[in-house]
Amino acid sequence: MTDKKLKVGIVGGTGYTGVELLRLLSIHPNVTLTAITSRGEAGLPVADMFPSLRGYVDLAFSDPAKSNLSDCDVVFFATPHGVAMSQAQTLLDANVKIIDLAADFRLQDKAVFEKWYKMAHSCPEVLSKAVYGLPELYRKQIKSAQVIGNPGCYPTTVLLGLAPLLEQGLIDFSAPIVADSKSGVSGAGRKAEVATLFAESSDNMKAYGVSGHRHHPEIHAQLTQLAGNNQADADVQFIFVPHLIPMIRGMLSTIYVKLSEKAKTIDLQALFEQRYQHERFVDVLPAGTLPETRSVRGSNQIRIALHKQAETGYLTLVVVQDNLVKGAAGQAVQNMNIMFSLAENTGLEVVPLLP
């Protein structure tokens, strides 16, 4: 990568992940924001909608039909499912790289995508070449990718929490993996909806998607792939229950796994520390401690704690992240850095906000 700045476009810049991308990219030293599209807000200065960006972003939203995204080096899609795949081939033909923050390129199985998202996949040939954008697992593939399916927020916590165990074949699959996950209200997106009104979500907590959540097949597919690398006959059973909690941003996943006999002879704390020792954005906490969501607020950091349940043979993992940063926009920028051979932490050295 030369010193030339990347020309970056964002499709769908009016949602929470869109404004988070703008926050991070506006001060990225290797980026020139070139286009930010919105059908409904075309012509409106970005800073008029998001006052926090005043003095940082001087662009106005543009109509997607009139934005020349083909001039960009990379385009981020912070849009509903289905939008990125409708434009992907045109951009690829213009040698533009794509990072999709929706689900269009997360699931390699077209039939599974269509079952869960209730729409036909319009570019399976692009899907087959897309890379799942979890840097700590697929850095080499991301580096040479043209299309990235940015992981979902819940999957990021679950997969990074479990990866060291799966890579070493340390889970007993006779019992299901259970993930009890909780997200702030921003995970539902920036839209008018009764369930996310202040009077509905404040002073309240609830489970949702218990009988089936769209992130379930994404997590299951990745768990199966990771497990299969060491246990060809692994039959991964996975139970996932998401919850909405009364805060704006943040995510906490508590994960329960039954350990294999092999795992009982291994120092798991040391295993996790060694696995992530060179990962700038994964922090394995000291034994006996517990992470809090406020310890990662506004940052691209993910923190993991291990607690062995000696009498049951289970391990409890507690994982926290900011759902809008490492769970979405920050991870997308991390992927961009890798794709263009920039230092992976460029533009992402944000100290968490506290209090």
pLDDT value of position 88: 96
Shared-domain flag, residues 95 and 175: no
Same domain, residue pair 99 and 217? no
With respect to residue 68, please indicate whether it lies within any of the assigned structural domains: yes
Task: Say if residue 306 is in the same domain as residue 265.
Answer: yes
pLDDT of residue 256: 98
Do 80 and 160 have their domain in common? no
- In angstroms, what CA-CA distances link 194 with 93, 127, 182, 201, 204? 41, 34, 19, 9, 14
CB atoms within 10 A of CB 345: 14
Q: Which of 316, 333, 337 is nearest to 324 (CA)?
A: 333
Q: Which residues pair with 127 in a beta bridge?
A: none
The answer to whether 72 is a known catalytic residue is no
Q: 24-28, 60-64, 157-161: which range is least confident on average? A: 60-64
Whether residue 158 is found in the same domain as residue 251: yes
Pairing relationship of beta strands 177-183 and 251-258 according to DSSP bridges: antiparallel
Q: What is the pLDDT of residues 72-99, one digit of tens each?
A: 999 999 999 999 999 999 999 999 999 9
One DSSP character per residue, 309-332 reads ETTTTEEEEEEEE-TTIIIIIHHH
Question: What CATH number does the domain containing 183 carry?
Answer: 3.30.360.10
Look over the chain and give the mean of its residue pLDDT values, rounded to a whole number: 94
pLDDT at 233: 61
Flag whether 348 is in a domain.
no
User: 115, exposed or middle or buried, with CB in 10 Å at 0-12, 13-18, 19+?
Assistant: exposed
List the catalytic residue out of 22, 72, 153, 179.
153
Residue-number span of the structural domain to which 43 is assigned: 6-129
* Residues 162 and 305 placed together within one structural domain of the fold: yes
Predicted confidence (pLDDT) per residue in 205-257, tens digit: 999 999 999 999 999 999 999 998 766 566 899 999 999 999 999 999 999 99
Least confident interval from 22-31, 79-88, 195-204: 195-204
Residue 295: inside a domain = yes
pLDDT tens profile 120-134: 999 999 999 999 999
- Given this model, what pLDDT does residue 231 score? 63
| pLDDT confidence of residue 232 | 57
At 106, the pLDDT band (50, 70, 90 cuts) reads very high
- Whether residue 16 lies inside any domain: the answer is yes
CATH of residue 84: 3.40.50.720
162 and 98 belong to one structural domain: no
For 146-197, the pLDDT digits (tens) are: 999 999 999 999 999 999 999 999 999 999 999 999 999 998 888 778 888 8
Q: What is the mean pLDDT of residues 97-121?
A: 96
Neighbour-count burial of 321, counting CB atoms closer than 10 A to its CB (0-12 exposed, 13-18 middle, 19+ buried): buried
In-domain check, residue 354: no
Assigned domain for 253 exists: yes
* 209 plus 311 within the same structural domain: yes
> Which segments of 66-152 does DSSP mark as H helices, in order?
83-93, 110-117, 124-127, 135-143
Residues 171 and 301 in one domain: yes
Nearest CA to 163 among 191, 138, 193? Answer: 138
**What angle (nearest 5°) sits at the alpha carbon of residue 214, between those of residues 209 and 216?**
85
Regarding whether 291 and 199 lie in a shared domain, the answer is yes
Under a CB-based contact definition with an 8 Å cutoff, are residues 24 and 333 in contact? Answer: yes
- Count structural domains, the chain: 2
Q: Is 344 part of a structural domain of the chain?
A: no
Q: State which of 63, 96, 129 marks the end of a domain.
A: 129
Look at residue 1 and tell me whether its pLDDT is greater than 60.
no
- Is residue 169 situated within a structural domain? yes
Does residue 232 or residue 41 have the better pLDDT? 41
Enter the pTM of the model: 0.95
Q: How far is CA 115 from CA 94, 105, 212, 250, in A?
A: 31, 14, 12, 29
The pLDDT assigned to 198 comes to: 86
Residues 75 and 210 in one domain: no
In this prediction, residue 164 carries a pLDDT of: 98
Whether 158 and 89 share a structural domain: no
